Chains A and B, each alone.
Chain A
Amino acid sequence: MLPEYTVKAAYLTKFVPFIEWPDAVFASAAAPVTICIVGEDPFGATLDTAAAVAAGGRKLAVRRIPEANAETGTDCQIVYVSDSQAGYDAVDALRDKPVITVTESTMRARGIINFLTLDNHVRFDIDEAAAEKNGVHISSKLLSLAHSVTRRSDGP
């Protein structure tokens, strides 16, 4: 496993406290925030470890699923897709859902959060406009760390 995926695994869990989903996406107040991996899993146990120690109100759950459509995908709050057709389909299917899709800059598909590597550092772009459109609020603190942000049109 590449070291950058350790960082990305940690990032996936660390995004959670800075993202607000609509209450409706959770089955109950105690329901965990679910991170789903569609297709090939590059993280392995690292993600489970990071999820276990992650700080935040809700607990984190990690699920690995072969594919995600508009119905099954909405059980997840964060969906990391692998570089595959199933992954691209998932991104398309969840485009209008309150789900944070995460992609890599090397992929053809673009999720709401897009990892990229710059000067050997893992960075990320955020499509705030798309997230807001789906009722997901991303904290400005997180936005301030992003490499680039696609701002929502009605905002500052």
Chain B
Amino acid sequence: MSGDQKVKGPWLIATIIVAIIAIGLSIWGAITFATEKEWSWGKATAALGFGTWAVIGGILWFAGTAFFIMELAGFTIYNRKLVRYKLNWDSIDISIVALTAAVYGGALAATGGLTIIPGFTWIRPANALTPVFGILFGIPGCLGTAIGNFLADAFAGYLGWGSIGGFIGNFILAYIPYKMVSDPSLRSPKAWFELYVSIIIGSIWCSAYISWWLYVWGPQVSPWPLVGLPAALVWGWFFPFVIVNNLLVSAILSGPITYILYPVVKNWGLLWTDRIKISS
């Protein structure tokens, strides 16, 4: 057995395990959501109490916002260090933002009528595109994803103060795979392992981010509520549903889509690794 095979073996096993967890969890969540009168996932998350979620959601919200501002300001985490990076934001980068925003926003809007929580969320198969855009295009792809979600909110009739949470929440959904997947070509078991782990983390983080935003601007917390969703519905319904909604399609489709699109994106010189320079 060659050294290379020795290295690949454990990653392959780990990838299979984490893929089964991601796909299994999402299918389990979707089936229980569709069949149970009182959704067990919702009861489980609500049982932890609003105080617990306020703290966990708050930490993830502030961390997510910090990452968003940090990346826009030209800083990133590279090899576990905070470093400067340079992206020219030339016409190609701006076109990537427009491309990803139009494709993601349009694809989300196409299923805009499949409502789950009126005014807040719907069944969104296009969520599978978020890790793809993050892994292949980097920050322009993440930004396009955020704008696309905002656009889709308008098309679905859901535009409101909660859309700001959705904006950065979807940025994070693309950002976590962008930062965690070390090989965008997905030509190694390690890259697939990182993809599945990043999809699980991104789905939970995105949902917690949006839920916390809806919670703090909701009628139970804010003296000037700008969001009408009660806390029980935020943490006992919206939060677990958005995790399942993100996870289900991403765990199944994002990997194969990224694998197929990688050579095209690379040949066109649009891959983020070819477009940014890490300064220090």
Instruction: Verify that A and B bind, or say they do not.
Output: no
- Residue numbers of A with Cβ under 8 A of B are none
- Residue numbers of B with Cβ under 8 A of A are none
